């Protein structure tokens, strides 16, 4: 039946926001994917850091199946058991006091930016409304979040845009010191810039942001959509430096493939949202919450997080070995299993070409802008999948340097 469904239906029936691969995946397990023609791929993309436990994880399937027999959706006039369990565990294992649930990273960031503006209005007055973000950042596709993101190509066609948003250079302490003021209500930062090139923040930069936010009574927002839920080898990346935000956003890996987003906040921030301030129809639904709770219970174990760090070393070793042979990358960077390889000068602009060749060889990979090859595989990816994936990447690199 699936072979009757044609790839060209995308162009025929769907809004052309995307340029999907020429093959259609139909089945997946662990870190392996098969298309309509039964061609096999090793998955180093993880659904863009979403499939934290790989495809069709048995424990997640059992959890979802069990919840499906009980309650799917009840609406926000009621609460439900799975969402209460999930909220309790997130609060008890992070800096936060309260959680708001939604359906995506963009929605989580939208909530964070709205609550920051409302907090400043309620506590300080209407003059305190500036949001500081950073160049090359990415925070979502709503009008607010795409404007706060530091990549004008994503926002410039949708003017007039929300105002009082400033973009400063990432990892530049002097730039933020020179600009932040009593008008600043919030600073939003990715601990690792993801879409913009897989660039980690320096510990000193994050510490400076915390100190400056305290000095100017601004809220510090960590966008951990991509870095959260074990991706860097910590439950959340902020734990590595010990620099706590006032607000943290989470999505992607939180649901292990099931759509969910969350805004984690401290008590003094949470209380400015009262009934009617903000809302969502599907957010915190029992299906998503049950699956996310299971993901959290699996990932938030010392042995599991240590395994992420071990796999990081394996990926770095393989990438370094390949680069010594083919000299394609100028820098390999990232933390845990969020990794980026910057293309050398002679290959600039050709990251998509490389991922296309990799797909032909049976490897699914990502880009982070035109110059960076990005990996965000399952956090529990097996050794054999790692070995096979890099063998296929080597085949792609041979063709890449020849072409």
**Is 280 assigned a ligand-binding role in the annotation?**
yes
Percent of the chain with pLDDT over 90: 98
Overall average pLDDT of the 315-336 stretch: 98
Overall average pLDDT of the 111-123 stretch: 98
pLDDT at 49: 98
Structure confidence by residue, pLDDT tens digits, 10-63: 999 999 999 999 999 999 999 999 999 999 999 999 999 999 999 999 999 999
pLDDT at 2: 52
pLDDT at 403: 84
Structure confidence by residue, pLDDT tens digits, 159-194: 999 999 999 999 999 999 999 999 999 999 999 999
**Is 192 assigned a ligand-binding role in the annotation?**
no
**Is 138 assigned a ligand-binding role in the annotation?**
yes
**Is 223 assigned a ligand-binding role in the annotation?**
yes
Write the CATH number of the domain with boundaries 71-300: 3.40.640.10
Q: Is 278's pLDDT higher than 80? A: yes
| Banded model confidence at residue 247, pLDDT cuts 50, 70, 90 | very high
**Is 399 assigned a ligand-binding role in the annotation?**
no
**Is 226 assigned a ligand-binding role in the annotation?**
yes
Overall average pLDDT of the 189-202 stretch: 96
Overall average pLDDT of the 304-329 stretch: 98
Q: Domain-by-domain residue ranges, the chain?
A: 8-57+302-402, 71-300
**Is 246 assigned a ligand-binding role in the annotation?**
no
Does the pTM of the predicted model rise above 0.85?
Answer: yes
Mean pLDDT across the chain: 97
Q: Output the 3-class SS for the chain.
A: CHHHCCCCHHHHHCCCCCCCCCCCEEEEEECEEEECCCCEEEECCHHHHCCCCCECCHHHHHHHHHHHCCCCCCCCCCCCHHHHHHHHHHHHCCCCCEEEEECCHHHHHHHHHHHHHHHHHHHCCCCCCEEEEECCCCCCCCHHHHHHCCCHHHCHHHCCCCCCEEEECCCCHHHHHHHCCCCEEEEEECCEECCCCCEECCHHHHHHHHHHHHHCCCEEEEECCCCCCCCCCCCCCHHHHCCCCCEEEECHHHHCCCCCEEEEECHHHHCCCCCCCCCCCCCCCHHHHHHHHHHHHHHCCHHHHHHHHHHHHHHHHHHHHHHHHHCCEEEEEEECCEEEEEECHHHCCCHHHHHHHHHHCCEECEECCCCEEEECCCCCCCHHHHHHHHHHHHHHHHHHHHC
**Is 281 assigned a ligand-binding role in the annotation?**
yes
**Is 92 assigned a ligand-binding role in the annotation?**
no
| Banded model confidence at residue 320, pLDDT cuts 50, 70, 90 | very high
Structure confidence by residue, pLDDT tens digits, 348-382: 999 999 999 999 999 999 999 999 999 999 999 99
Overall average pLDDT of the 272-292 stretch: 96
pLDDT at 73: 96
Q: Is 1's pLDDT higher than 90? A: no
Q: Is 3's pLDDT higher than 90? A: no
Write the CATH number of the domain with boundaries 8-57+302-402: 3.90.1150.10
**Is 106 assigned a ligand-binding role in the annotation?**
yes
């Amino acid at each position: 039946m699936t072979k009757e469904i044609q790839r060209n239906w995308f162009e025929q029936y769907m809004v052309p926001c995307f340029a999907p691969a020429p093959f259609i995946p139909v089945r997946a397990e662990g870190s392996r994917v098969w298309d309509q023609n039964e061609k096999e791929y090793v998955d180093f993309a993880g659904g863009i850091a979403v499939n934290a436990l790989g495809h069709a994880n048995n424990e997640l399937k059992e959890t979802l199946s069990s919840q499906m027999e009980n309650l799917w959706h009840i609406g926000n006039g009621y609460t439900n058991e799975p969402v209460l369990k999930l909220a309790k565990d997130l609060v008890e294992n992070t800096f936060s006091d309260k959680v708001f649930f939604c359906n995506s990273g963009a929605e989580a960031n939208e909530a964070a930016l709205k609550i920051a503006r409302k907090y400043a209005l309620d506590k300080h007055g209407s003059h305190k409304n500036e949001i500081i973000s950073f160049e090359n950042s990415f925070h979502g596709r709503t009008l607010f979040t795409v404007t706060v993101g530091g990549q004008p190509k994503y926002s410039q066609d949708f003017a007039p845009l929300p105002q009082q948003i400033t973009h400063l250079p990432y990892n530049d302490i002097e730039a933020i010191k020179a600009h932040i003021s009593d008008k600043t209500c919030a600073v939003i930062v990715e601990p690792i810039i993801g879409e913009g090139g897989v660039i980690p923040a320096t510990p000193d930069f994050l510490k400076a942001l915390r100190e400056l936010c305290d000095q100017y009574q601004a809220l510090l927002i960590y966008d951990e959509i991509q870095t959260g839920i074990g991706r860097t080898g910590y439950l959340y990346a902020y734990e590595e430096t010990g620099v706590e935000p006032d607000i943290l956003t989470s999505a992607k890996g939180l649901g292990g493939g099931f759509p969910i987003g969350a805004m984690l906040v401290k008590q003094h921030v949470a209380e400015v949202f009262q009934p009617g301030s903000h809302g969502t129809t599907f957010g915190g639904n029992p299906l998503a919450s049950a699956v996310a709770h299971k993901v959290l219970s699996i990932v938030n174990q010392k042995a599991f997080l240590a395994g992420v760090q071990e796999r990081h070393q394996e990926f770095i070793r393989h990438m370094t070995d390949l680069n010594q042979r083919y000299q394609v990358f100028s820098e390999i960077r990232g933390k845990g299993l969020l990794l980026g390889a910057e293309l050398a000068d002679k290959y600039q602009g050709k990251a998509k070409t490389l991922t296309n060749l990799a797909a032909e060889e049976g490897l699914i990979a990502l880009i982070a802008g035109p110059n960076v090859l990005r990996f965000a595989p399952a956090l529990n990816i097996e050794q054999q999948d790692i070995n096979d994936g890099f063998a296929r990447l080597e085949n792609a690199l041979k063709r890449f340097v020849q072409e």
